[in-house]
Amino acid sequence: MRFSQTAVLSSICRDSFWEFVKELWDTVVPEKPHFNWHMEYICDVMQEGAERVFRGKPKLEDVVINISPGTSKSTICSILFPVWTWTRMPQARHICGSYSFPLACDLGRKSRDVAVSEKYKTLFPEIILREDQNTKHYFQNTLGGTRYSVGVNGSVTGMHAHFINIDDPLDPNQAASDADRKAANNWLKETLPSRKVDKAVSLTTLIMQRLHQDDPTALFLSRGHCRHVCLPAEDSDYINPPELKDMYVNGLMDPVRLSRQVLQEYMANGEYIYSAQFRQQPVPPGGGQFKVQYVKWGHPPTRFKKLVRGWDKAATQDGGDYTVGVLLGMDYEDRIWVLDVKRFRADSGERERIIKRTAQLDGSGVLVGIEQGSGDGGKDSALNTVKNLFGFHVKTWKVAKAGNKEQRAELFSVSVNEGNVWIPQKLRMAGDWIGWAKEYLEELRYFPHSKYDDQVDASSTACHFLGKRRKRVGGMW
């Protein structure tokens, strides 16, 4: 039996999403294509997840893809993928989200343009868009398939999908905003999971650049059961899966579109932005304000010139910021040791009890430094702690006069960056940090763009008092 050339091409495109992308590319992008290896790899990842949906089998994992801008991620995942699934599963329903509704609608319009193109209709004549539901943000085919576009925090009431595709849920210009990140994460965590046709089968794909330690990628990866693809523009240890390093040419993922010259131009916009969007690490390679690679480890001395426990207080019991107390010691070689970190969430009453119990365990030879915020509330909170610690040596630091958090952290960060900060060797094992040191140094590494900054604030307070002279009175400090 002989088949027409059109029937053969149609069959090839149904069976392979990558072949579909190459064949339908010109319905989206008029310029001559440059098909780099990563595009085929992403297509294969998307198809592997989709095949289980087509067969109604429970998914093995959701998909998270971190990749630089300008690499055709939206064309592949948001524009071409939905209308390709219809060639295999005409009734497939899609929810496609982006950080803004106009952006989501624009991607939806382009996806609809593919479905009404002469090439698509010739290859897949059975896929016909309904005239009564055919807008750029929401269109359907006559066999039950839909594509619905929504901006982050937009309404998806009444919508259920076999495929949820989230493309850039955060605007890079707003990623530093705690409120915007929290809103995006809450929407992804609380709203979208209930919008699946079958929670065991429906596939969620998140594709974005890493923009912050606490961005949606971090949310998805923290939940587990995710296939994580990370493709930095330059060769690095963050490539995932690691074997894809072999695909990089002269250390570049895409040497044509993201050449050294192009990357240098992007780097001129700032190291933080470049590191997030192109290295897929929301902190420069050498660290942010703190160069934690210079932190040393060893056996702390038995006697110290000075010991200070600095506190940064929070009044939250469930969620929110932490109360943190960092114990710093200066030895007789003027080295600074981070000896202990107390980190917890508690209401104000329990918080004060823990602070007092910690002071008792530290002993009277340890100065207690308390951060005093601005306004009457900050003053009253600090005074309450001073009263609670009657009998101990307590000092308050009016941080409003010391500048912002970065400025207050300057003294401690200089010590870290000069290699003068040490941590007990017992917290270093097999070349990695363990215990409280792991989270502590992680926060320092990302600061000032870290998810939390309480440990930095407490360290800044302790270091502030560690650097101040104390008068000797009657043989006691």
Residue 474 is predicted with a pLDDT of 35
Indicate if the alpha-carbon torsion angle 171, 177, 183, 186 is positive or negative. positive
Give all strands of the β-sheet with 146-151 in edge-to-edge order.
129-134, 138-141, 146-151, 93-98, 163-167, 203-208, 62-67, 226-231
Tell which residue, 207, 212, 211, 264, has the closest CA to residue 234. Answer: 264
Task: Report the SS3 class of residue 414.
Answer: helix
* 204 occurs within a structural domain: yes
Q: Are residues 341 and 449 in the same domain?
A: yes
Tell which residue, 336, 331, 333, 327, has the closest CA to residue 362. Answer: 327
| Helix/strand/coil percentages in the chain, nearest 5 | 45, 20, 35
Number of domains in the chain: 2
Q: Are residues 270 and 305 in the same domain?
A: no
List C-alpha distances in Å: 309 to 3, 62, 89, 91, 314. 80, 44, 62, 62, 16
Residue listed under structure tokens 């000797």: 472
Which of 278, 301, 326 is the endpoint of a domain? 278
Tell which residue, 305, 324, 327, 295, has the closest CA to residue 415. Answer: 295
Q: Are residues 138 and 246 in the same domain?
A: yes
**DSSP letters spanning 278-295:** HSS-SS-TT-SSS-GGG-
What tens digit of pLDDT does each residue of 407-421 get?
899 999 999 999 999
- Residue type for position 382: A
Q: What is the CATH number of the domain that holds 416?
A: 3.30.420.240
What tens digit of pLDDT does each residue of 64-90 get?
999 999 999 999 999 999 999 999 999
pTM over 0.85: no
* 475 occurs within a structural domain: no
93: enclosing H helix or E strand: strand 93-98
Residue 72 is predicted with a pLDDT of 96
* 38 occurs within a structural domain: yes
Residue 289 is predicted with a pLDDT of 84
* 286 occurs within a structural domain: no
Residues spanned by the domain of 267: 5-278
Q: Which two tokens stand for residue 272?
A: 């933080």
Q: What is the CATH number of the domain that holds 257?
A: 3.40.50.300
Find out whether 316 and 324 touch, Cβ atoms under 8 Å.
no
Find out whether 281 and 209 touch, Cβ atoms under 8 Å.
no
Tell which residue, 233, 271, 218, has the closest CA to residue 452. Answer: 218
Residue 287 is predicted with a pLDDT of 65
User: Would you tell me the crossing angle of helices 5-15 and 17-24 to the nearest 10 degrees?
Assistant: 120
* 473 occurs within a structural domain: no
67: enclosing H helix or E strand: strand 62-67
- Residue type for position 5: Q
* 477 occurs within a structural domain: no
Residues of the chain scoring pLDDT < 70: 1-3, 284-287, 315, 317-319, 375-377, 468-477
DSSP state of 275: H
Q: Are residues 107 and 228 in the same domain?
A: yes
Q: Are residues 311 and 266 in the same domain?
A: no
* 472 occurs within a structural domain: no
Residue 475 is predicted with a pLDDT of 34
* 287 occurs within a structural domain: no
Which of 214, 245, 278 is the endpoint of a domain? 278
Which of 220, 244, 278 is the endpoint of a domain? 278
Q: Are residues 225 and 306 in the same domain?
A: no
Q: Are residues 205 and 311 in the same domain?
A: no
List C-alpha distances in Å: 264 to 200, 212, 258, 274, 275. 44, 22, 10, 9, 12
Alpha-carbon gap, residue 154 to 101, rounded angstroms: 8
CA triplet 425, 430, 433: central angle to 5 degrees? 55
Give all strands of the β-sheet with 394-398 in edge-to-edge order.
296-298, 421-424, 336-344, 323-330, 306-312, 367-372, 394-398
Q: Are residues 394 and 340 in the same domain?
A: yes
Find out whether 172 and 209 touch, Cβ atoms under 8 Å.
yes
Find out whether 203 and 51 touch, Cβ atoms under 8 Å.
no
